[in-house]
């Protein structure tokens, strides 16, 4: 009997040795004369268990992990004999960390071969597009609106409204742009889905094209993600070959085609108008809004620009799942969010779950606390522009409005965990410094404020007129927050101010002017 074995080809798994494990497995099987087929999938997102190896059995796929090269021979024996092994995790889908999730967008990630259109279709792929092709533009957009989907890039703007605006704007050409410039530290969901299930992104973009009457799309992927670029390009070729991209997609009257464009290391290009400038071949300088990209976007044409995760949510919604999607979540945050646990965390990875789970559950329970075993002191939620939250705020539910009410943001859903060795004034300084390096330079609060901010935090760290300089930082942060053109300058105050507010003790001694004379 031929053994069917699954090993991830996700960059996160490859970075910890998945390629070597796959090669060793092949070799060990050959030496033993065992017939083996190795299928490279995406990652299930349980990164502390990577490289994870799964074997198909009559009961389902049994997982082993984390498998090192030294374990390969014994793991192979256990797979052949269906026997015990120290690394045996049982049925992959029964692993509690995975079973607790609600995988709608990531249903196929880690399961299917990302290069296989056939695999995608067998696992419910293209059902959303097939249904969309039978609907009117209005009906497709009504589904997206009914699902309650909001932009997963961080801004949380209702996707249905964005699409409707583009659909109602007439032009000779319209564009669909996928923002895959996932620059936030602590986030990797876009990378994972592009590497593990690229067709879902293509399908989501194609549905958007059909809905708004666009025939051309671009996926702008950051250059730091070469594996994702390769996977998306391969999937686009496959989709074209299968008749799902190009003229008359899926046998319909609609045409839609896609191209990958690669960024060049500018963080600000994750901001939508910078990204459009960059796609047009220019410096990634932010555009003032209005006009909105929905009216005048790429090359001045009406453009739907959405994050990877927004597009990845669409196929489920259009396959008759709009109401089911909306039934998940809390308040105005509907559906699921692929949350990413990162940094100094014991169980790091991708956890897709309905909105409403608390920060404490995510960090302590699901994440298992820190990897170092020291107490969790702070978490940064939402990337370099997100606030640092102390344990006292761990009751905050994962919800756009709940985070905003506590001067934070959920951003792209990344959570970076820090233990008690963190120096929060250093983190605040880093936020300002990062903004200074990455500022596009168009608006003054961001361009100059970030440099002055770095210098002022340096003075505070050196103990120089601490109280006065903290007042300067507070004032500067206000100017940046309200005076910047985009989220880079506008949100850099979040990590800085939250560090100051919640971790004041890291910024030198507090004022002592009310102390009585001795």
Partner 1 sequence: MTVYEPWNATRGTEIIAEHAHLEGATLVILHALQQAFGYVPEPAIPMIASALNLSRAEVHGVFTFYHDFRHKPAGRHVLKLCRAEACQAAGGDALTARAEAKLGIAIGHTTPDERVTLEPIYCLGLCATAPSAMLDGRVVGRLDEARIDALVAEAQR
Q: Is 312 in the site for partner 1 (CB under 8 A)?
A: no
Q: Is 252 in the site for partner 1 (CB under 8 A)?
A: no
Q: Is 284 in the site for partner 1 (CB under 8 A)?
A: yes
| CA 149 vs CA 246, 284, 307, 310, 414: distances in Å | 27, 28, 12, 8, 18
Q: Is 182 in the site for partner 1 (CB under 8 A)?
A: yes
- Contact region with partner 1 (CB under 8 A), list: 250-258, 399-407, 413-421, 479-487: 413-421
What is the footprint of partner 1 within residues 324-343 (CB under 8 A)?
340-343
Residue 450, Cα to own-chain centre: how many angstroms? Answer: 26
- Contact region with partner 1 (CB under 8 A), list: 103-111, 238-246, 305-313, 419-427: 419-427
Nearest-angstrom CA–CA distance, 386 and 384: 6
Q: Is 399 in the site for partner 1 (CB under 8 A)?
A: no
The SS3 of residue 150 is: strand
- Contact region with partner 1 (CB under 8 A), list: 69-77, 176-184, 389-397, 474-482: 176-184
Among 116, 137, 185, 444, the residue binding partner 1 under the rule CB under 8 A is: 185
**Total residues found in the chain within this entry:** 518
Q: Is 197 in the site for partner 1 (CB under 8 A)?
A: no
DSSP codes joined into one string, 353-375: EETT-BHHIIIIIIS-S-SS-SP
Among 8, 310, 336, 344, the residue binding partner 1 under the rule CB under 8 A is: 344
Phi and psi angles of residue 40, each rounded to the nearest 5 degrees, phi first:
-90, 120
**Torsion from C-alpha of 206, 252, 335, 400, nearest 10 degrees:** 40
Q: Is 500 in the site for partner 1 (CB under 8 A)?
A: no
Contact at 8 Å (CB) between 287 and 299?
Answer: no
Q: Is 101 in the site for partner 1 (CB under 8 A)?
A: no
Place of tokens 């009457």: 213
Nearest-angstrom CA–CA distance, 26 and 202: 32
Q: How far is the CB of 167 from partner 1 (least distance, A)?
A: 22
Plot region of 144 (φ>0 → left; ψ -120 to 50 → alpha; else → beta): alpha
Q: Is 105 in the site for partner 1 (CB under 8 A)?
A: no
Q: Is 380 in the site for partner 1 (CB under 8 A)?
A: yes
Give the pairing of strands 36-41 and 3-8. parallel
Is the Cβ of residue 119 or residue 195 nearer to partner 1 in the bound state?
195
Q: Is 430 in the site for partner 1 (CB under 8 A)?
A: yes
Nearest to 285 by CA among 303, 270, 273, 297: 273
Structure-block tokens of residue 306? 């959405």
- Across-strand partners of 35? none
Q: How far is the CB of 371 from partner 1 (least distance, A)?
A: 7
DSSP structural state of residue 413: S
Structure-block tokens of residue 506? 């890291």
Among 38, 80, 171, 262, the residue binding partner 1 under the rule CB under 8 A is: 262
Among 81, 264, 514, 516, the residue binding partner 1 under the rule CB under 8 A is: 264
Is the Cβ of residue 299 or residue 482 nearer to partner 1 in the bound state?
299
- Contact region with partner 1 (CB under 8 A), list: 53-61, 164-172, 261-269, 319-327: 261-269
Task: Please count the residues of this chain forming the interface with partner 1, following the rule CB under 8 A.
Answer: 61
**Residues at the interface with partner 1 (CB under 8 A):** 11-12, 14-16, 45, 47-48, 50, 182-188, 190-191, 223-227, 261-267, 278-284, 299, 340-345, 348-350, 371, 380, 384, 414, 416-419, 422, 427, 430, 434, 438, 440
């Amino acid at each position: 009997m031929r053994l069917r074995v699954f090993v991830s080809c996700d960059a996160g798994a490859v970075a910890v040795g998945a390629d070597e494990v796959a090669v060793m497995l092949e070799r060990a099987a050959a030496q033993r004369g065992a017939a083996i087929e190795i299928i490279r999938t995406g990652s299930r997102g349980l990164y502390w268990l990577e490289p994870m190896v799964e074997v198909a059995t009559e009961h389902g796929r049994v997982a082993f992990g984390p498998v090192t090269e030294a374990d390969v021979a014994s793991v192979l024996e256990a797979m052949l004999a269906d026997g015990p092994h120290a690394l045996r995790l049982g049925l992959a889908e029964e692993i509690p960390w995975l079973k607790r999730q609600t995988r709608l967008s990531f249903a196929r990630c880690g399961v299917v071969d990302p290069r296989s259109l056939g695999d995608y279709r067998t696992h419910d792929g293209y059902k959303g597009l097939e249904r969309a092709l039978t609907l009117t533009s209005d009906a497709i957009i009504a589904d997206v609106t009914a699902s309650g989907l909001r932009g997963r890039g961080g801004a949380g703007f209702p996707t249905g409204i964005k699409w409707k605006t583009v659909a109602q704007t007439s032009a000779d050409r319209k564009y669909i742009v996928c923002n895959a410039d996932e620059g936030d530290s602590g986030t990797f969901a876009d990378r994972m889905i592009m590497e593990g299930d690229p067709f879902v992104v293509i399908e989501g973009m194609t549905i958007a094209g059909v809905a708004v009457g666009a025939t051309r799309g671009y996926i702008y992927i950051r250059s730091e993600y070469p594996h994702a670029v390769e996977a998306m390009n391969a999937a686009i070729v496959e989709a074209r070959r299968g008749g799902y991209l190009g003229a008359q997609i899926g046998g319909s009257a609609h045409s839609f085609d896609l191209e990958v464009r690669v960024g060049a290391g500018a963080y600000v290009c994750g901001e939508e108008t910078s990204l459009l400038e960059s796609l047009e071949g220019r410096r990634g300088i932010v555009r003032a809004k209005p006009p909105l990209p929905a009216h005048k976007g790429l090359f001045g044409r009406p453009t739907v620009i959405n994050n990877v995760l927004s597009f990845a949510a669409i196929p489920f919604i259009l396959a008759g799942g709009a109401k089911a999607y909306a039934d998940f979540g809390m308040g105005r945050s509907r559906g699921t969010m692929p949350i990413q646990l990162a940094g100094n965390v014991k169980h790091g990875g991708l956890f897709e779950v309905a909105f409403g789970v608390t920060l404490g559950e995510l960090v302590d329970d699901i994440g298992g606390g820190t990897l170092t075993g020291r107490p969790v002191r702070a978490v940064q939620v939402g990337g370099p522009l997100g606030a640092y939250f102390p344990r006292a705020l761990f009751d905050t539910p994962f919800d756009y409005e709940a985070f905003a009410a506590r001067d934070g943001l959920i951003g792209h859903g990344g959570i970076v965990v820090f233990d008690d060795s963190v120096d929060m004034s250093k983190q605040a300084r880093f936020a300002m410094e990062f903004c200074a390096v990455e500022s596009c330079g168009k608006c003054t609060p961001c361009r100059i404020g970030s440099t002055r901010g770095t210098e002022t935090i340096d003075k505070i760290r050196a103990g120089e007129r601490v109280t006065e300089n903290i007042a300067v930082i507070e004032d500067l942060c206000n100017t940046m927050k309200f005076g910047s053109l985009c989220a880079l300058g506008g949100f850099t105050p979040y990590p800085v101010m939250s560090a100051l507010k919640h971790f004041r003790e890291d910024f030198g001694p507090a004022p002592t002017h009310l102390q009585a004379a001795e």
